[in-house]
Chains A and B, each alone.
Chain A
Amino acid sequence: MTTTTAQIGRPAPRAVRYGSISRGQRRALYWSYFFLVLFVIFFLMPPVYMLITSLKSSAEIGAVTNPWWVYHPTLENYTTLLTQKSFLTFFRNSAVVSVLVVSLSMVISVLAAFSLARMKFWGSATLATGVFLTYLIPDTLLFIPLFKIFAWIHDQTGIELINHWWVLIFLYPTLTVPFCTWIMIGYFSSIPKELDEAALIDGAGYMQILTRVFIPVALPGIIAATIFAFTVSWANFLYPLAFTTSEDQLVLPVGIVTTLIKGDVYNWGQIMTGALLGAAPPLIIYAFLMDYYIAGLTAGATKG
């Protein structure tokens, strides 16, 4: 492994001199570390700056001091936000919507992926391709027609869908279901056929094959898809911005952006605290389940 891979970051010597390979490799290694540190600084600067600002009082933020350092750390912003009723409402709305969307989309996509990967029916191959294509249709194309459709439903039935947080439960599956189904098809297809044939001969029904064989075997894929669905439904900004407006109906990202920025008055300490708290749930999940997260990320484009 180390013999050949370590030669990329090195300023190239024109001719290969024998005996100096190990020295060259060490230098290449040092250069790699040097550039990695630079990139890590670039990539981690905004979140670190969020943390720095969130620990400052408004007076310190307004003062002409070093912005990259906290002279008088305080948890004032955290206590203010976490005792504020509206902020806790945003958090609750976000959590309820995300959990419901994740459960709903996992049930839909696992069932569908099992049927598309294994059982096959008329048109199932076309449907699998269709799932992939719908996953490429962005929310920015769908929000206007959906807005109109929901307004139309209100006119017809009297059920008010717009400006209720729970309407997001119908909207987020447009983003999560196609992708989760797509990667679950990939995982299910990679399970050897002999496994379900054996279960079939033993007299298992399709539901039993799914719950006793496929779900346990493809568990890493299911975890990856669950993490994805959660991250997407936690982070989405467009749908809640378009569909909800009252303060008690907002979810976290939109709540922070619309209520903490009042006119031209920016309370940056609170905004950064809110942003950090809003980023915390996905970050915590990522910290514990990084390998599943990355597996899901690479599976999306390469499996299938």
Chain B
Amino acid sequence: MADVVARDVRIAPIGKRASGRSFVRRKSMIAFMMALPLILVIACLVIYPAFYAIHLATLNKSMTKFVGFGNFLFLFKRSTFWMVVEQSVLFAVTAVIFKAVIGFIVAHFVHNIPQKGQRKWRGMLLIPWVIPPAMSTLAWLWLFDPSYSAFNWVFAHLGLPEVPWLGNPYWARAGVILVNVWVGSPFFMIMYLAALKSVPEQLHEAAAIDGANWLQKIWYINLPMMRNIIQITALFSLIVTFANFDIVKILTNGGPVDQTHVFATWSFVLGIWGNDLPLGASVSLFMFPILAVAAILILRNVRKRGNEA
């Protein structure tokens, strides 16, 4: 605010000596008008629906009667709900950890090779992130096909037993995580590679003189230097993974016996297919606490980073 005033003082003597104040007012009016479309979009299509979901969750199925916490109490009594909670957390946490580890390792390999080849490798490794997830999940569905699985064909030739990819609950859970890791780890790779580039070379040289090996260099130099980006990326990915819909919907559609449902897919099944919008809204609201915590942590990290720079 202070610099705006200072700038106007500097401009004022040129023409409008007396109208400095109205100039400031006019300027903020124009600024507000320019931001108005954004405010309208956010208010009407994001903020209002988000609060409306809370209201919706307190109604009965035909949306005629207020039932308070009735929908939530109903959910707490269903074993499927607790299974969905468990699977959502398991899915998001496991997938984010794998994505972060793979992204970190691959970023180091890319950083390791000569500069001029890096662009080409980076370009190939980012392809899973570029393909619409719904489309690439179809390819995975075909790779996991019960009778024509291309993986099982390879396994058969290597003398390994056949894997019931999506038929068995445990393999199906592993399968959705695998596909999510495949889609998401290139994003981590790109973020971590950018962070690695900003680690000063002198630190590595000093460590080399002190006789540090590669593991010590990663542990004592790269990890602390990249800490902020590692946290931001992981938290951001946690939000996206927790709210994931496409992969589970196409790959297993929640099956076998609802074992792979996450909040998003289950709320879709209840709300849109089951025609019980309030119940669907109640399920999807359970994503909110985790999203809120992650969002606050990200915001703190981004701010901290802004102050450092």
Contact = CB atoms under 8 A, between A and B. Distances in A.
B287 A140 contact: yes
A46 B284 contact: no
B295 A49 contact: no
B277 interface: yes
Given A1-B201, A47-B131, A257-B134, A120 B1 contact: yes
A89 to B, nearest CB: 18
A119 B131 contact: no
Interface residues on B, range: 35 or more
Main SS at interface, chain A? helix
Interface residues of A, number: 111
Contacts of A170: 45
A120 B214 contact: no
B52 A235 contact: no
B299 A173 contact: no
Contact of B142 (A42, A49, A293): A49
Contact of B217 (A7, A16, A45, A68): A7
Contact of A235 (B53, B134, B233): B134
For B109, B132, B208, B240, the residue with the greatest tally of chain A CB atoms inside 10 Å of its CB is B132
A257 B143 CA distance: 16
A233 to B, nearest CB: 10
Contacts of B127: 43-44, 47, 283, 286
A9 interface: yes
A43 B128 contact: yes
A271 interface: yes
A120 B31 contact: yes
A138 B291 contact: yes
Interface string A238-270: 100110000000000110110000000010100
Interface string B240-264: 1001111001100000000000011
A61 B114 CA distance: 42
A272 B121 CA distance: 25
A36 B113 contact: yes
Interface in A169-193: 170-171, 173-174, 177-178, 181, 193
Interface in A100-130: 107-109, 111-112, 114-116, 119-122, 124, 127, 129-130
A59 interface: no
6 contacts: A119-B27, A121-B28, A145-B56, A238-B264, A283-B127, A290-B123
Interface of B: 1, 3-4, 7, 11, 14, 27-32, 34-35, 37-39, 41-42, 45-50, 52-53, 56, 63, 102, 105-106, 108-115, 119, 121-128, 130-136, 138-140, 142-143, 145, 148, 150, 153-154, 182, 186-187, 190-191, 194, 201, 204-205, 208, 211, 213-215, 217-218, 229, 232-233, 236, 239-240, 243-246, 249-250, 263-264, 267-268, 271-272, 277, 280-281, 284-285, 287-288, 291, 294-295, 298-299, 302, 305-306
Interface of A: 1-10, 12-13, 16, 28-29, 32-33, 35-36, 39-40, 42-47, 49-50, 53, 61-62, 66-68, 107-109, 111-112, 114-116, 119-122, 124, 127, 129-134, 136-149, 170-171, 173-174, 177-178, 181, 193, 197, 200-201, 206, 231, 234-235, 237-238, 241-242, 253-254, 256-257, 266, 268, 271-272, 275-276, 278-279, 282-283, 286, 290, 293-294, 297-298, 301-302, 304
